[in-house]
Structure 1
Amino acid sequence: MKQFYQIAATVVLLLALAGGIKACKVIKEYSYSYSYNDFAKSIEDFDIDRVEKYLGKGYKATSETGKDRQLITFANPATSTGRDIISLLLAQGADINSKYILTSTDYLGNTTGTYESSLLYHASEGDIDAVKFLLENKANPDITINPDNKTSLMIAARKGEQKVVQLLLDYGADPNMVDINGCSALNFAYYSRSSVVIEALENAGAKEVDHYCQF
């Protein structure tokens, strides 16, 4: 009989512990501050489980955060988890061509901002997997940075990113668009001195622009 009571007491203790753990999880879940800024942080941190919870709670993938950024711009397509998160957001109506302000500070302490998109950023980084994923999901290959009107093709050409340039051309990027200064991707390719990039652009019908360009 004594052994029976010991076993019963152990069972009761285990059940209490299990209940306590469950209660802690519930408390943690409800104490979490749900907001669009926290939603963006979950995206930025590659926390796909929490992203799914936000979507399940009715949070809109098309909404902006307090930073005036569409949620999808916080996702990083350079990683497989980031691409999975983007796919979730796109399925809920997010715009893959959303832009956001990217600020930078020069050595004098002056801060400037440009309107970037995910494609523009990853093309400048030479991230071929990210660029391919974005283009496959209908990213506009001719989307421009404001205010200087540069395209992903111009940026990649300037940096001599051969694979990115060819991929953009394969997805229909216009090799003859010009920026606010009248310079084309071919002008930027001359600057990079990449003969492979120059050849790829010329094969795609790029024409030389007789124009003074500032790089």
Structure 2
Amino acid sequence: MTVNRTTAYAATTGIPVPRRPAAVRSRDARPAPVVRDLRERAGRSPHALLFGPQDLVVITGLPGSGKSTLMGRAVRGVGIDSQDARDRWAGRMPRLLPYAVYRPLVRLAHYAAVRRALRAGRGLVVHDCGTQTWVRGWLARAARRRGGTLHLVLLDVTPDTALSGQRARGRGVSRYAFLRHRRATARLVRAVERGELPSGCDSAVLLDRDAADTLRSIAFRATGGAAPAHGR
């Protein structure tokens, strides 16, 4: 599968996205956003996503949905995972200290890492918890300034699957926090299914667990180079 500045290409059909009205297109030369739905393909979805050299990619979904696992396995290039910042701070804190106490420090460390990576000007993949919508706005503006675009990769798994993922990694979120994430993620999935992407986002890819497990590469093509082979 190839994702570039003007389109999100998949070997099979995704969700049709309504064209922008002519009046809007006359004021905004940006292409209409594209959504590709790779769910319910029983492992027959693409093995790779390829983005433009200046693009930014946000991976989002429920806590425990597999975002960190996907990033660790598939990202080719720079990836900033908020879980890495949490693990570093957890190693410095007393074992019995609740995460909520030092969570603001973790978030500051994560955003500082994202800011440093943005300065490098290369393609970047960022883990997004899904409830901090201002982060996507920040990244959309950063992508435009550097001549790239923002793309969304959304893991759509059931709450039970996400809770199982939390138990498997030995880390979880509070019931209140999980419900908040669940509502925010459900709203985002429904909006993407309608072709309504977050402001500044040019494309979205919907993954279920099978599609995420099949994905082996999230990469950025070299500046000025031909796009390498993609898909299965």
TM-score range, shorter chain: under 0.3
The normalised TM-score by structure 2 is 0.23
Instruction: Answer with 1 or 2: which has the greater Rg.
Output: 1
The normalised TM-score by structure 1 is 0.25
Structure with the larger strand share? 2
Q: Which has the higher contact order (CA 8 A, sep 6+)?
A: 2
